[in-house]
Amino acid sequence: MCYDAGRMGTRRRVVILGSTGSIGTSALKVARRIPDRMEVVALAAHSNVAKLAEQAVEFGVRHVCIADESKCDELKRMLPSGVTVHVGDEGLCELAALEDANMVLISIIGTAGLRPTLRAIEERKDLAIASKEVLVMAGELVMSKAREAGVQVLPVDSEHNAIFQCLHANPGGSTEVNRLILTASGGPFLRAPREELKNVTLQQALLHPTWKMGQKITIDCATLFNKGLEMIEARHLFGIPIAQVDVLVHPQSIVHSLVEFKDGSLLAQLSCSDMCFPIQYAITFPQRVDGHLKQLHLEDMCDLHFERPRLDDFPALNLARRAAELGGTMPAIFNAANEEAVRAFVAGRISFPGIWETVQKVYEQISPHSSAMELDTILADDFAARTLVHQLLS
Ligand code: MG
Q: Is residue 212 part of a domain?
A: yes
283-318 pLDDT tens trace:
999 999 999 999 999 998 879 999 999 999 999 999
Ligand 1 centroid to residue 394 C-alpha, Å = 32
* Same domain? 235 vs 347: no
* Same domain? 34 vs 85: yes
- Give mean pLDDT, residues 367-376: 96
Q: Which of 156, 184, 219 is the last residue of a domain?
A: 156
* Same domain? 134 vs 186: no
Q: Is residue 200 part of a domain?
A: yes
Ligand 1 centroid to residue 182 C-alpha, Å = 9
Ligand 1 centroid to residue 158 C-alpha, Å = 5
Ligand 1 centroid to residue 230 C-alpha, Å = 7
* Same domain? 376 vs 314: no
CATH number for the domain that contains residue 367: 1.10.1740.10
CATH number for the domain that contains residue 137: 3.40.50.720
Q: Which of 284, 318, 352 is the last residue of a domain?
A: 318
Q: Count CA atoms within 13 Å of residue 381 on its CB side.
A: 26
* Same domain? 44 vs 63: yes
* Same domain? 16 vs 146: yes
Rounded distance between C-alpha atoms, residue 136 and residue 320, angstroms: 10
Q: What's the confidence (pLDDT) of residue 1?
A: 46
Q: Is residue 288 part of a domain?
A: no
Ligand 1 centroid to residue 232 C-alpha, Å = 12
Ligand 1 centroid to residue 245 C-alpha, Å = 15
* Same domain? 146 vs 189: no
178-192 pLDDT tens trace:
999 999 999 999 999
Least confident span in 3-12, 149-158, 247-256, 385-394:
3-12
Q: Is residue 4 part of a domain?
A: no
- Give mean pLDDT, residues 321-338: 98
Ligand 1 centroid to residue 108 C-alpha, Å = 15
Q: Is residue 297 part of a domain?
A: no
Ligand 1 centroid to residue 159 C-alpha, Å = 5
* Same domain? 29 vs 114: yes
Phi (first) and psi of residue 12, to 5 degrees: -80, 125
111-133 pLDDT tens trace:
999 999 999 999 999 999 999 99
Higher pLDDT, residue 6 or 85: 85
Q: Is residue 278 part of a domain?
A: no
Q: What's the confidence (pLDDT) of residue 6?
A: 47
* Same domain? 370 vs 393: yes
* Same domain? 108 vs 232: no
Does the pLDDT value for residue 226 go beyond 70? yes
Least confident span in 44-58, 203-217, 250-264:
203-217
Give pTM, 2 decimals: 0.95
Ligand 1 centroid to residue 1 C-alpha, Å = 21
Ligand 1 centroid to residue 99 C-alpha, Å = 31
**How many domains is the chain partitioned into structurally?**
3
Q: Which domain holds residue 192?
A: 173-270+306-318
* Same domain? 99 vs 222: no
Q: Is residue 265 part of a domain?
A: yes
Ligand 1 centroid to residue 177 C-alpha, Å = 21
Ligand 1 centroid to residue 110 C-alpha, Å = 15
Rounded distance between C-alpha atoms, residue 330 and residue 346, angstroms: 24
How many angstroms from the chain centroid is the CA of residue 218? 13
Q: Is residue 277 part of a domain?
A: no
Ligand 1 centroid to residue 197 C-alpha, Å = 23
* Same domain? 43 vs 99: yes
Ligand 1 centroid to residue 138 C-alpha, Å = 18
Q: Which of 285, 318, 351 is the last residue of a domain?
A: 318
